[in-house]
Amino acid sequence: MPEYLKSARPQEARDADDAKVRATVEAALGEIESRGDAAVREMSEKFDGYAPESFRLSEAEIEALIARVAPRDLDDIRFAQEQVKGFARAQRASMLDVEVEPHPGVILGHRHIPVQSVGCYVPGGKFPMVASAHMSVATAAVAGVPRIVACTPPFQGEPNPAVIAAMHLGGAHEIHVLGGIQAVGAMALGTETMPAVDMLIGPGNAYVAEAKRQLFGRVGIDLLAGPTETMVIADETVDAEMCATDLLGQAEHGYDSPAVLVTNSRRLAEETMAEIDRLLGILPTAATAAVSWRDYGQVILCADHDEMLKVANDIASEHVQVMTDRDDWYLEQMTAYGALFLGPRTNVANGDKVIGTNHTLPTRRAGRYTGGLWVGKFLKTHSYQKILTDEAAAMIGAYGSRLCLLEGFVAHAEQCNLRVRRYGGRNVPFGAAAE
């Protein structure tokens, strides 16, 4: 039985928070749907203190912002995007169109078709999330999406030049300086100045994640990527400094970012908690990270690796850093997570910013039923069929006729019977089964 040396806030308190978020988002989306641009402008002014003449940046404005980015930073952005695009290209190459002929004259196939318009949300109110542009915009471009809309909130009262550069270099066709519910709602529902998209992409805070949840069905979504989560699975092959650093590296994202240590070493658990306290005393972002650790941090002591595995699969954390004497065993055995980071030489920040795998990942246990964002999320797999010969039309039609009537569908059966009569030269009575 696992022992919790440190526990997070009770689930009941989190549920109460979720209920408040749901109500706020529902009201805001209703305003956007009924009042369009006027509601979007009011929300931007209220929440971000930002209400320019146009939220969409012109080409001249984009170029002027990019010119403010240091050459070294632009080079780093280009390097990171090439890693992300390179991995996305490899993924795309694995997705093949299919065409088979199971019977002479019967052709079945499928094609992968890009979603025709996507809205990419790039968070940036607290920290300018440059890397989120690579993960959404650049990946959509590799998939061949013909209209890529990108939204990001103002940072300290203006567009963040590095984020805008990343969006532009990644391949965005429209860039809007707009954040939160108002951005997601405008992209999905459409306004007088922003035609609606077909799909919403990207991470965000609890309000953005809830807006995506409520809008699902009106548009597609990649996944529910809410406040970031991290888990460190560790044994005594690593030390407390490594564990504490990797936990706080994600806890600084926001005030509600779960960080969990799962270990079979009481010594490592206790030393890690002490090291976290020490690091919080010197970390510039401690005001955020300390709240997340206090309210959402957990330290779970397990009897052995089997129990650690069970706990990890049950929590299904977004990021799982594995530092043990059997990292590949966890790779083979884990079934529920966003992404794995195997061994002490890599870390979650590599995945967040540069290594090439996508950082938009499932949160809140969604890793039980979905993986993260990848090039395939931007592609729809559509099937097709055709029959090339009279003989095949009559043969398949006869089977179809009988199977339709087995279910009581007479009009369905007549679709098949007509082909048996016309292409097979057989007189099938109306509404009867073809022999």
Catalytic residues: 318-319
Is residue 158 within 8 Å of 171, Cβ to Cβ? no
Q: How far apart are CA 374 and CA 4, in angstroms?
A: 35
- Please give the C-alpha separations between residue 84 and each of 137, 154, 361, in angstroms, as whole numbers: 10, 25, 14
Residues whose CB is less than 8 angstroms from the CB of residue 329 and which lie 6 or more positions away in sequence, other chains included? 305
The torsion of the CA quartet 347, 351, 353, 358, rounded to 10 degrees, works out to: -170
Give the strand pairing for 259-263 and 297-301. Answer: parallel
Q: What angle do CA 84, 373, 286 make, to 5 degrees?
A: 80
**DSSP character for 69?**
S
Residue 187 in tokens: 């992209």
DSSP letters for 123-187: --SSS--HHHHIIIIIHHHHHT-SEEEEEE--BTTB--HHHHHHHHHHT-SEEEE--HHHHHHHH
Give the strand pairing for 220-221 and 230-234. Answer: unpaired
DSSP letters for 81-124: HHHHHHHHHHHHHT---EEEEEETTEEEEEEEEE-SEEEEE---
> Could you count the other beta carbons within 10 Å of the beta carbon of residue 28?
23
In DSSP terms, 386 is beta-bridged to: 107
Residue 272 in tokens: 């890690």
The candidate with the shortest Cα–Cα distance to 186, out of 392, 39, 391, is 39
Is residue 149 within 8 Å of 186, Cβ to Cβ? no
Q: How far apart are CA 110 and CA 30, in angstroms?
A: 38
